[in-house]
Amino acid sequence: MTQRPSSPLWSSKKPAPRRPTGVALLSSVSLLLGLSAVLAGCPIYDADSCAADPKCNPVDSGYPTDDTGTVDTGTDSGCGAACPVGYTCNNVGAGEFKCQAYDCRAAEKACKAPMTCTELSAGVWSCSNPLPDDCTKTGCITGYTCKDVGGSKRCESTDPNACVADGDCTAKTGAGSLCLGGVCKAPKDLCSDSTQCATGTCVDGRCASKCSATCATGYTCDDKTSACTGGTGACSVDKACATGSTCVAGRCVAPAATNGACPTGQVSVAGGCVVDDRPAFFCDKDGTKDGEQDVCAAGSICLHHNCYRACTGSTDCATLKDFPVCKDVTTTAGTPKKVCGTAGSFGTECDLSAATPKPCTAGKVCLDGKCI
């Protein structure tokens, strides 16, 4: 069998000021002093978000909001009056309290269209792209169903193992699982070599596009692996994406069509288009025949869901131009097997899909079984 490859602020012009004299000047100074005494209690001014400060929380949350660790609702000796919605009263030093912008409900943190200020969870307000419109009119792609999500009709996955980030998967498919293409995959279903990826290369158990091609929206080229795996950290609850993109698992990606459709090689996850980084499964789809012939042709065996020519020595692989080396590979159960590969494939230094996963040390990534 032939080796299967990589299966209100306003403005107006003002007249030039006239120099006040005598009583007029005295009256002006008195008025200014009076106003400053009234306004000093709680000015609204531009300020950095205090989301990163654990002592800074919304006034109505019930948590401490000033440096003394006590709740200041703005009705005592602090700001003197309750701060507007979206602001919180904070001790800015030397006993001085000021209303500072806290979330997107504050004027200086207002969202830019089409993003809207949305309460993502209790007390957490952030700029978010609007959810897909109405799937009762557009329908949904295969594997998705039309559901009511926050008052909008949205296409949601029917897969019980659907996910958005890796952290969603431990409870669904076990420790070591990853969220690939919006679906949780157990360790045995992660890639261990690029030959198990339809395109690209295998990096830390997931398939990634090579940098030779343009990286998809939200992804950047990682110099170490030459793969499109970067881009995470671009967005979060406190850091929104620019207009025209949406945040999915820390990446600002292109939004999916209303019916959940995305470009080739990408899948719809949480309303955005992410790279489909699942390995290409050809054999052992039920997870019980790894290391056996399964549906592979005679003389070949199934390893990590792909077919490889079995061998006992290098001469058995000599006729295979792309896979001339007989290499030792283990099944997900840990049984050693010999198959035809290349000098750079099937490394044994790391493998996140092994029965006992072999990760790399901190600071390194697993690329085709090698820690780099």
Percent with pLDDT over 90 in the chain? 35
Indicate the pLDDT class of residue 130, thresholds 50, 70 and 90.
Answer: low
Give the C-alpha separation, 321 to 292, whole Å.
24
Indicate the pLDDT class of residue 78, thresholds 50, 70 and 90.
Answer: low
Find the range with the poorest average confidence among 67-76, 140-149, 318-327: 67-76
pLDDT digits (tens, 9 = 90+) for 174-198: 999 999 999 999 999 999 999 899 8
Residue 83: per-residue pLDDT? 83
Indicate the pLDDT class of residue 45, thresholds 50, 70 and 90.
Answer: very low
Average the pLDDT over 10-24 and give the result.
40
CA torsion 131-132-134-139 (nearest 10°) is -140
Give the C-alpha separation, 72 to 275, whole Å.
46
Beta bridge partners of 17: none
Who's near 243: CB < 8 A, 6+ residues apart?
112, 113, 114, 115
Residue 208: per-residue pLDDT? 94
54: pLDDT strictly greater than 60? no
346, 338 contact by CB (below 8 A): no
Instruction: Please report which helix (H) or strand (E) contains residue 31, including its range.
Output: helix 22-39
Identify which has the larger pLDDT, 139 or 301.
301
What is the residue-averaged pLDDT of the chain? 76
Of 302, 298, 327, the C-alpha closest to 312 is 327
Residue 115: per-residue pLDDT? 67
53: pLDDT strictly greater than 50? no
Average the pLDDT over 108-121 and give the result.
72
147, 156 contact by CB (below 8 A): yes
Give the C-alpha separation, 181 to 167, whole Å.
14
Residue 288: per-residue pLDDT? 81
Residue 80: per-residue pLDDT? 65
Residue 256: per-residue pLDDT? 84
Percent with pLDDT over 70 in the chain? 72
Residue 61: per-residue pLDDT? 34
Residue 26: per-residue pLDDT? 38
Helix/strand/coil for 307: strand
pTM of full prediction above 0.75: no
Residue 295: per-residue pLDDT? 93
pLDDT digits (tens, 9 = 90+) for 220-264: 999 999 999 999 999 987 788 888 888 999 999 998 887 778 888
Indicate the pLDDT class of residue 322, thresholds 50, 70 and 90.
Answer: confident
366, 348 contact by CB (below 8 A): no
Residue 63: per-residue pLDDT? 32
292: pLDDT strictly greater than 50? yes
Average the pLDDT over 89-116 and give the result.
77
pLDDT digits (tens, 9 = 90+) for 160-174: 999 999 999 999 999
Average the pLDDT over 56-61 and give the result.
37
